Amino acid sequence: MTTARLIALDQILFVLVAAAWAATAGIALTGLRQPAAAGRRTRLIAAASCAAAIVVTALRVAVTAGLAGAGWWFVAEKVTLALPLVVVPALVSAAVSLPRLLRGTATGSTRIVAFPLLVAAYGAVAGIACAVVISYPVTAGGAAAVLALFAAGSAVTWRLLGPARSPRHGWQAAGTCVLALALALTIGGGWPSGHLHPEHDAGGPGVSVDLLRGPAPAAAGGPAGARERVRRFTLTAQPATVRLPSGGGAEAWSFNGQVPGPVLRVRQGDLVEVVLRNRLPVRGGAEQADSGQADSGQGVTIHWHGYDVPAAEDGVPGVTQNAVWPGQSHVYRFRAEDAGTYWYHSHQNSSVAVPRGLFGLLVVDPAAPAPESEDHVLALHAFGSRATLSVDGAAPSDLLTRLTLPPGARTRLRVVNTDTRPVVLGLSGVPYRIAAVDGGDVPGATELDGARLHLAAGGRYDLTFTMPSGPVLLTTGDRPALLVNGPATPPPAAGPIVDITRYGSPAALPDRFDRETTWVLDKTLAVSGGLPRLAQTVNGKAWPNIPTPVVRRGQTVRIRVVNRGTDTHPMHPHGHHVRILSRNGVPATGLAMDTFDVAPGEVWEVALVADNPGVWMSHCHDLAHAAQGMEFHLAYEGVTTPYDMTGGNHPA
Ligand code: C2O
Ligand code: CU
């Protein structure tokens, strides 16, 4: 069974285990309070229920043992805490309660029979609590909180089941519970203070991220200026309306009135200069906008997704700049050193802004002439529930888009997933190759025929083929999205999904690492925005309390990413591509990716070479998950940032 299945099964089982023990205890208590003969039947039912509870408990142990095979990260809190709390009383129940219930005549032994059953029920409930409050690593606070409640419940129960009961006992019991709860909240609630990045706060020694800028254009007429091509663009954030061919529509935020924003197409070596202007509506009047005051409307930035620009050009509010408020502007500059397919999007309130349309495509053509004569860039995006496709920056369509290409033409389709969910792509009617992944060429890309592809949110695949005489069909999800040279439609690709980590020829990979770090992804109760909430967590913590990994320039870092939750997480470290070393222990070919999809139960190992100093965002590109806590920083020793989350800066 896959790890993901075991995780899901475990979640069903811990509810079942709790229900079984609670039912058993309830039935037994009823039976024990009835007169000997009348209660006999009830006590036998309780015995049967107890046997069932023991069986599901054993099943849970077996599932945990299976999960342990995938790694200690998946089971630590279960083995050390959740299981002992239910298994020990379950064993006592089997030895003490079950035989007495079976004899059927047990009377006068309420305490001895019912206590282990009730404690098993508490233990099982504590197991559910563990799943909600504790991730990996197991924290002393979380464990103490669970234990305190469990112990208090058990102690009170022991008293209440005793022979001499008086109203005083009730008060004592209530008092104990309140005390335990207070204790649990105090220990478990050693909530972090919300220090954002103490390791690299402004004011410390070092270089400010603000100084790590892209190059300014060489002075006109200078020797370097003669060779340098500067490409200037203006992107104006403004409202727009998206009309879908099916009849649907959406109020959107756009760059230059179009969604997606303009395709920025430059050549390798160009100096790119982009002026961002914010003309989104002002909240609360024009003077507020003039004062550049935070919260005077929707702020905007531009992040160059997958383009490893100098840190100051990365477009993250609160990290590399302040959000650009309505009426303000900002200039980005970087040299287009790497050819390939990229995209850009606002990073202010990105979980709202990107789905609403503040994104566009960036294509860097290689300096050497490309072999393909047909080159088209496709953006996948959902407006509400409508999946759409935009070809070459044209208005998005939720119906089948048609394209005509000359048969025999060497063709490149650059597919960009600008959505927050992964998509399964199918290309049929022609064998094809994945020529590039996340902008980088794939060495030794083999030909695929009928195979389907899984593209992470934020990720890009360049698909190349020679246009056949017949039609070619691209499907996204189950939807026929693009038909080239119809009207006949080839059957959709239905082959297996390519394991992208094993695609292409093996690259030379680092085998020595200066640092190792593990990111365990989960969904648990954590403090985010000052309050405990169900959050998407990394190592049990949520933004802004996830500690910042700090690297030194030149270091090679091995990052292990473990997903112990039930959601897929497209992890996206800014400023760097990582090389995929392995997935679930299976060696990878070493493709460079900037957004990699870690599915439930998966363990990825990637290598990051620290060659781009800065303070970088690192987050899940399911932007709702980022907003629910799954974002943190990656910082370089000696680099500080003067920006923070005050003044309305809000990356997720
Ligand atoms: Cu495309 Cu931090 O994001
Ligand atoms: Cu996620």
Which ligand is nearest the CA of 418, by number? 1
- Give Cβ neighbours of residue 461 (< 8 Å, ≥ 6 apart): 414, 415, 425, 434, 436, 437, 453, 455
Interaxial angle between packed helices 140-160 and 167-188, expressed in degrees from 0 to 180 and rounded to the nearest 10:
180
Which ligand is nearest the CA of 627, by number? 2
* Protein residue closest via CA to atom 3 of ligand 1: 305
Residue numbers of the chain with a pLDDT score lower than 50: 190-203, 225, 285-290, 292
- Give Cβ neighbours of residue 491 (< 8 Å, ≥ 6 apart): 428
617 Cα nearest atom in ligand 1: 2
- Give Cβ neighbours of residue 287 (< 8 Å, ≥ 6 apart): none
Beta bridge partners of 476: 425, 479
Q: Is 574 in the pocket of ligand 1 (CB under 6 A)?
A: yes
Q: Is 458 in the pocket of ligand 1 (CB under 6 A)?
A: yes
Tell me phi and psi for residue 18, to 5 degrees.
-65, -45
Q: What is the Cα–Cα distance from 443 to 506, expressed in whole angstroms?
A: 8
Q: Is 621 in the pocket of ligand 1 (CB under 6 A)?
A: yes
The model's pTM is 0.92
pLDDT of residue 282: 84
Q: Is 345 in the pocket of ligand 1 (CB under 6 A)?
A: yes
> For the segment 65-88, what is each residue's pLDDT rounded down to a tens digit?
999 999 999 999 999 999 999 999
Ligand 2: distance of its center to the CA of 322 in Å? 25
Q: What is the Cα–Cα distance from 605 to 52, expressed in whole angstroms?
A: 41
Q: Which DSSP category does 51 fall into?
A: H
Which ligand is nearest the CA of 537, by number? 2
pLDDT of residue 503: 98
Q: What is the Cα–Cα distance from 341 to 324, expressed in whole angstroms?
A: 26
Q: What is the Cα–Cα distance from 237 to 254, expressed in whole angstroms?
A: 6
Beta bridge partners of 550: 635
pLDDT of residue 475: 98
Q: What is the Cα–Cα distance from 205 to 212, expressed in whole angstroms?
A: 15
651 Cα nearest atom in ligand 1: 2
pLDDT of residue 510: 93
Q: Is 479 in the pocket of ligand 1 (CB under 6 A)?
A: no
Length of the chain: 652
**Residue 571: strand, helix, or coil:** strand
Q: Are 342 and 304 in contact (CB under 8 A)?
A: yes
Tell me phi and psi for residue 31, to 5 degrees.
-65, -35
Ligand 1: distance of its center to the CA of 561 in Å? 18
Ligand 1: distance of its center to the CA of 623 in Å? 8
Ligand 2: distance of its center to the CA of 62 in Å? 28
Which ligand is nearest the CA of 438, by number? 1
Q: Is 460 in the pocket of ligand 1 (CB under 6 A)?
A: no
Ligand 2: distance of its center to the CA of 69 in Å? 24
Q: Are 514 and 525 in contact (CB under 8 A)?
A: no
Helix (H) or strand (E) holding 307: none
Ligand 2: distance of its center to the CA of 223 in Å? 48
In 3D space, the residue among 610, 518, 516, 609 whose CA is nearest the CA of residue 564 turns out to be 518
Place of tokens 């409202």: 239
Q: Is 523 in the pocket of ligand 1 (CB under 6 A)?
A: no
pLDDT of residue 266: 98
- Give Cβ neighbours of residue 190 (< 8 Å, ≥ 6 apart): 141
Instruction: Using CB atoms within 10 Å of the CB of residue 305, give its burial: 0 to 12 exposed, 13 to 18 middle, 19+ buried.
Output: buried
Q: What is the Cα–Cα distance from 566 to 7, expressed in whole angstroms?
A: 7
Structure tokens at 547: 């500690």
> For the segment 174-204, what is each residue's pLDDT rounded down to a tens digit?
777 777 777 666 655 544 433 444 444 444 5
Ligand 1: distance of its center to the CA of 303 in Å? 7
Q: Is 100 in the pocket of ligand 1 (CB under 6 A)?
A: no
Place of tokens 């934020």: 458
Structure tokens at 549: 């990994």
pLDDT of residue 90: 97
Q: What is the Cα–Cα distance from 21 to 114, expressed in whole angstroms?
A: 11
Q: Are 571 and 531 in contact (CB under 8 A)?
A: no
Q: What is the Cα–Cα distance from 106 to 108, expressed in whole angstroms?
A: 7
Ligand 1: distance of its center to the CA of 616 in Å? 11
306 Cα nearest atom in ligand 1: 1
pLDDT of residue 195: 41
Ligand 1: distance of its center to the CA of 609 in Å? 19
Q: Are 441 and 591 in contact (CB under 8 A)?
A: no
Q: Is 347 in the pocket of ligand 1 (CB under 6 A)?
A: yes
354 Cα nearest atom in ligand 1: 1
Report the greatest alpha carbon distance in the chain: 107
- Give Cβ neighbours of residue 329 (< 8 Å, ≥ 6 apart): 275, 276, 277, 278
- Give Cβ neighbours of residue 369 (< 8 Å, ≥ 6 apart): none
Ligand 1: distance of its center to the CA of 439 in Å? 15
Which ligand is nearest the CA of 622, by number? 2
Ligand 2: distance of its center to the CA of 620 in Å? 5
Beta bridge partners of 484: 403, 472
- The dihedral of CA 74, 75, 76, 81: what is its sign? positive
Q: Is 435 in the pocket of ligand 1 (CB under 6 A)?
A: no
DSSP characters over 186-247: HHHT------S-GGGBTTSSSEEGGG-PPPPPPPTTSHHHHHPPEEEEEEEEEEEEEE-TTS
**Residue 118: strand, helix, or coil:** helix
Q: Is 305 in the pocket of ligand 1 (CB under 6 A)?
A: yes
Q: Is 416 in the pocket of ligand 1 (CB under 6 A)?
A: no
Q: Is 303 in the pocket of ligand 1 (CB under 6 A)?
A: yes
Which ligand is nearest the CA of 619, by number? 1
631 Cα nearest atom in ligand 1: 2
Beta bridge partners of 252: 240
pLDDT of residue 35: 82
* Protein residue closest via CA to atom 1 of ligand 1: 305
Tell me phi and psi for residue 171, to 5 degrees.
-65, -40
Place of tokens 């799954």: 630
